[in-house]
Structure 1
Amino acid sequence: MRKVYSSLILLLILVFTGACNSGGQKKGGKEAAQKVPDLEEILTAGKIRVVTNYNSTNYFVYKGQPMGYQFELLQEFATFIGVKLEVTVNNDLQTNFEALQNGLIDIIASNLPVMRESEDYIAYTAPHSFSRQVLVQQAYSSDQKGSNNIQYNTLIRNQLDLAGKSIYVQKGSAYVQRLRNLANEIGDSIHIVEIPDYEVEQLVELVAAGEIPYTVCDENLAIVNLNFYPNLDVETPVSFPQKQAWAVNKNAPELLNAINNWMVSFTQTPRYQRIYQKYFLNKRSIHLVDAGFHSIKGGQVSVYDELIKEESQRFDMDWRLIASIIYQESRFIPDAESWAGALGLMQLMPETAERFGVQSITSPRDNIRGGMQLLQWLDERLALRVEDSNERLKFVLAAYNVGIGHVLDAMKLAEKYGMNPTIWNDNVDFFLLHKSDPKYYNDPVVEFGYCRGEEPYQYVREILERYDHYKNVMR
């Protein structure tokens, strides 16, 4: 069904655009030698690989959920073409361009200023927004935190006054090239200090603390940061207003056409306006950061992070996986109770808690420990059938949700119908998903009967997707 749907999407896009784009002509050399997936290959694979940058507006995790301006746009586009969104994070622009050139990613999704001169292999999409780059400087400082002895600083308002100044920017960012161009424009030197291990907002914070004199930031992001650092000034532009867009490889013209057609239409919708306002204009959004459960400012997924880390270490499991399971099960509410009687952070059934010696089922530590004992027990039994640990994790998660019996039934069905019983995606998951169909739950190989398979099917997918986001931002 996915292949049929993908083919229809591709056909509609090609008809709409005329399948013509001069940027799609290969220019030979290194560019032509590297096979770059275009829209047809992306639809066939069922996923689109995207890199974005990690900051408090574009992509982050808040209270366990991935969020962000770029992330929500990407979700909308992935849904539009009917594929899974695969997000990675890298704030080094040069590394991202190399990955794009080598066909390792399909889109660079960030606030890229559209430049007339760029690498031969880069194609910018239609803009998703407009902004200018501004100088971030300290407007005033005080002797110590809370002191009334405020000293106001002399502010730079003329770009000519940047001559001889040291400006700290993220290595490989678009700000580096802009400052080089600006130095040429003013006919004098600007000392550009490229910092490899700091994102733009960390540099903004250093300016606010008085540890560095200047940095450069996109104006819309700079204005958001004024909510956190009121002693900053961001009113001096270092560029004209610029189109901000995504980038794809020029050897993927159908993908470029698809994004452009979608972007031009989507940015005119109320839905887009709500997304932009949510991250850049709504002052209530600053409470996302103030609350602490923000992967950039607070650095926490939940109040139970340290507890989850301690218990995960006991069982040699990744705490970010356990956090993703807990979010799915209870949204980190320790006394949550399901309609079926499951209790606590990891939603243990009373009989399961008794089996594993859980003293207090609503105690966060006891509940987490009991849940991890169940995960370990499931893993040990499924290891006899599924050797690969990464693949086995999907079976374990499904069994945690719906019981190991239904998962074993789905494996038997997969084997009977010529599918691979040790592979989850498009094999065993299909039969668990359809175990509510009499054709399958009445099959002689089935022991545990009817199962509403939609829930465990989505359960596995959602936990692993969230786990990927946690791995992106939580070290």
Structure 2
Amino acid sequence: MRHSYILILVIASLFASCKTDKKPTLFNRANKEVDIDLDDIVKRGKIKVVTDYNSTNYFVYKGRPLGYQFELLKAMSNQLGLKLEITVSNNVEENINNLLNGDIDLIATNFTVTRNRSNKIAFTEPHCVTRQVLVQQKYRNSTGSEPTIFNEVIRNQLDLAGKTIYVQENSSFVERLRNLSNEIGDSINIVEIPDYEVEQLIDLVANGEIPYTVCDENMARINTNFYDNIDVETAISFPQKIAWAVRPTSNDLLDVVNNWLINFKKTKQYKRIYRKYFINERSKHLVDAGFHSIRGGKVSIYDAIIKKESKKYDLDWRLIASLIYQESRFHPEIESWAGAKGLMQLMPETADYFGVKEITSPSENIKGGLKFLTWLDGRLKKTIEDPEERIKFVLAAYNVGLGHVQDAMRLAEKNGKNPLIWKDNVDYYLLNKSKPEFYNDPVVKYGYCRGEEPYHYVTDILERYDHYKNVIMD
């Protein structure tokens, strides 16, 4: 498969010099002006963001969503009091079109501020400044008994004349290379690669499948931790602003994001986040680990069991993995203050009921937990037909018990809310079931409940599940 793709690259390079003379097509598509601003986003209750999936900006490690962009976005959304809805796309043109069409509100990637782009979208204050650098091999390892072969490293930009450089399609790197070609008075063959993110192109350089690519310096230096045979010391640009982007019509949103960024960049929290992803060498350990969604693709060492058992009940294993992370952080020996044990935190009486003989056995515990979930689903299926809606009730019941959830459903119905809808209906009454005016209501059969825990339990599991779906294949 990889050799086929490289063949396509080679063929594409034959036409590269012709493509270099063409104008960018990034903004050729006409977009209707969409008038969605901060008030609309606040009413919606969530901000829709697109970011790119790589080992620095957004990924999952040991079951947790992490990343430079992700942590900035979480801090911002918390400050604004908005839910964060993240989608993933490495396609620059698609992201811009989706922004202008109103499908997303914010592009949160390593977006270089350029004059051409500024004619179409509104850039925020920069969240960092970096240069573009050439990524090339400094040596390649030979096979067999032959010695290591060292490549001649390019240091002078004039030496790029006649060279073929592969870059992400419609990226700022294309524009910079076109300008550099004019500056050195000679042609640079630029091959634009669709669907490949910069780190994937760096991997091709490291493996000798393409000769050169271009990357932002902060991202490039991180990748020297993963590939000891790449060189990133040759800059091809002056320092450039890296920012987010909103629609030109979203003036209030732009003002709020700018004010937040200006103040946040002065905080210790921002400095800690930047060091964590761009300076701290422990990031090498993260990406080399099998439990990183980029490299290993695993959520936990129990993925195989979770997949196998989830399949029996036609459940998405990523949802079950998110639940297990919530319950035990994948530690099978853990025991709660109430006596719940194992990966899925089964109470001993629940484990007995569902035939679990060894409660701390990962396999047995997962089997028992899935039987319990299926049992709850069967009870709720009689009244809640929509499976996507029902899973919220099932998760809440798994955490706090079916009786308390049914109490909240009765309270919702009594107060004119929809007892079959979770968000802003049943969840409100479960959340408030610790208050006397709620748990003393005549329709309540199971009394007091500390509803804050199951309320956040459902939200946290489903949000993490969304992150898993973004970056982990089913």
Could you state the TM-score of these two structures normalised by the residue count of structure 2? Answer: 0.91
Amino acid of the structure 2 residue aligned with 1:42: I
2:401 matched to 1:403? yes
Aligned to 2:447: 449
Aligned to 2:94: 95
Q: Secondary structure at the match of 2:300?
A: coil
Q: What is the distance in 2 between the residues matched to 1:313 and 1:165?
A: 50
Aligned to 2:57: 58
Aligned to 2:38: 39
Q: What is the distance in 1 between the residues matched to 2:287 and 2:210?
A: 23
User: Structure 1 residue 412: deviation in Å?
Assistant: 0.4
Aligned residue runs from structure 1 range 21-40, under 5 A: 33-40=32-39
Q: Secondary structure at the match of 2:370?
A: helix
Aligned to 1:126: 125
Aligned to 1:379: 377
Q: What is the distance in 2 between the residues matched to 1:171 and 1:321?
A: 34
Aligned to 1:190: 188
**Which among 304, 326, 329 is matched to residue 328 of structure 1?**
326
CA contact (8 A) 1:121 1:251 kept: no
Q: What is the distance in 2 between the residues matched to 1:183 and 1:123?
A: 28
Q: What is the distance in 2 between the residues matched to 1:177 and 1:301?
A: 38
Amino acid of the structure 2 residue aligned with 1:444: P
Deviations along 1:72-120, one digit per CA (max 9) or x if unpaired, are 1111111111111111110111100000010000100011111122264
Q: Secondary structure at the match of 2:377?
A: helix
**Which among 297, 300, 307 is matched to residue 299 of structure 1?**
297
The gaps in structure 1 that reach 5 residues or longer are 1-28
CA contact (8 A) 1:49 1:105 kept: yes
CA contact (8 A) 2:407 2:445 kept: yes
Q: What is the distance in 2 between the residues matched to 1:379 and 1:144?
A: 57
Q: Secondary structure at the match of 2:234?
A: strand
**Which among 257, 264, 289 is matched to residue 287 of structure 2?**
289
Q: What is the distance in 2 between the residues matched to 1:325 and 1:299?
A: 18
User: Structure 1 residue 300: deviation in Å?
Assistant: 1.1
**Which among 261, 266, 269 is matched to residue 268 of structure 1?**
266
RMSD: 1.6
User: Structure 1 residue 144: deviation in Å?
Assistant: 2.9
Q: What is the distance in 1 between the residues matched to 2:187 and 2:318?
A: 46
Q: Secondary structure at the match of 2:376?
A: helix
Q: What is the distance in 2 between the residues matched to 1:136 and 1:328?
A: 40
CA contact (8 A) 1:60 1:294 kept: yes
Q: What is the distance in 2 between the residues matched to 1:36 and 1:360?
A: 58
User: Structure 1 residue 283: deviation in Å?
Assistant: 1.2
Amino acid of the structure 2 residue aligned with 1:387: E
Amino acid of the structure 2 residue aligned with 1:391: E
Aligned to 2:472: 474
CA contact (8 A) 2:136 2:211 kept: yes
Deviations along 1:182-206, one digit per CA (max 9) or x if unpaired, are 2233333322222234321121122
Aligned to 1:152: 150
Aligned to 2:418: 420
Could you state the TM-score of these two structures normalised by the residue count of structure 1? Answer: 0.91
Q: What is the distance in 2 between the residues matched to 1:293 and 1:109?
A: 25
2:108 matched to 1:109? yes
CA contact (8 A) 2:91 2:195 kept: no
Amino acid of the structure 2 residue aligned with 1:163: A
Amino acid of the structure 2 residue aligned with 1:300: K
Q: What is the distance in 2 between the residues matched to 1:120 and 1:385?
A: 53
Aligned to 1:370: 368
The gaps in structure 2 that reach 5 residues or longer are 1-28
Deviations along 1:261-285, one digit per CA (max 9) or x if unpaired, are 1111111111111110111011123
Q: What is the distance in 2 between the residues matched to 1:165 and 1:378?
A: 63
CA contact (8 A) 1:38 1:252 kept: yes
CA contact (8 A) 1:136 1:215 kept: yes
Aligned to 2:462: 464
User: Structure 1 residue 30: deviation in Å?
Assistant: 6.0
Deviations along 1:210-266, one digit per CA (max 9) or x if unpaired, are 121111111001111111111110011121110000000001000001111111111
Q: What is the distance in 1 between the residues matched to 2:208 and 2:120?
A: 40
Q: What is the distance in 2 between the residues matched to 1:174 and 1:385?
A: 53
Amino acid of the structure 1 residue aligned with 2:417: M
Q: Which moved more, 1:160-169 or 1:189-198?
A: 189-198
Deviations along 1:297-339, one digit per CA (max 9) or x if unpaired, are 2211111112211111111111110110000000001111111
Q: Which moved more, 1:182-191 or 1:51-60?
A: 182-191
User: Structure 1 residue 357: deviation in Å?
Assistant: 1.3
Deviations along 1:425-462, one digit per CA (max 9) or x if unpaired, are 11100000000011010111011111000000000000
Q: Which moved more, 1:404-413 or 1:152-161?
A: 152-161
Amino acid of the structure 1 residue aligned with 2:88: V
User: Structure 1 residue 401: deviation in Å?
Assistant: 0.4
User: Structure 1 residue 67: deviation in Å?
Assistant: 0.6
Q: What is the distance in 2 between the residues matched to 1:308 and 1:171?
A: 38
Q: Which moved more, 1:354-363 or 1:231-240?
A: 354-363
Q: Secondary structure at the match of 2:48?
A: strand
User: Structure 1 residue 128: deviation in Å?
Assistant: 0.4
Deviations along 1:393-452, one digit per CA (max 9) or x if unpaired, are 111100010011100000000000001111111110000000001101011101111100
Q: 1:353 to 1:148 in 2, by over 3 A?
A: farther
Amino acid of the structure 1 residue aligned with 2:307: K
CA contact (8 A) 2:396 2:454 kept: yes
Aligned to 1:391: 389
Q: What is the distance in 1 between the residues matched to 2:307 and 2:193?
A: 31
Q: Percent identity?
A: 64
Q: What is the distance in 2 between the residues matched to 1:338 and 1:320?
A: 23
Kindly tell me the number of residue pairs found equivalent between the two proteins.
445
Q: What is the distance in 2 between the residues matched to 1:362 and 1:110?
A: 42
Q: Secondary structure at the match of 2:122?
A: strand
Q: Secondary structure at the match of 2:126?
A: coil
Amino acid of the structure 1 residue aligned with 2:404: H
Q: Which moved more, 1:387-396 or 1:195-204?
A: 195-204
CA contact (8 A) 1:56 1:68 kept: yes
Q: What is the distance in 2 between the residues matched to 1:118 and 1:308?
A: 45
Q: What is the distance in 2 between the residues matched to 1:117 and 1:293?
A: 40
Amino acid of the structure 1 residue aligned with 2:182: N
Q: What is the distance in 1 between the residues matched to 2:143 and 2:319?
A: 41
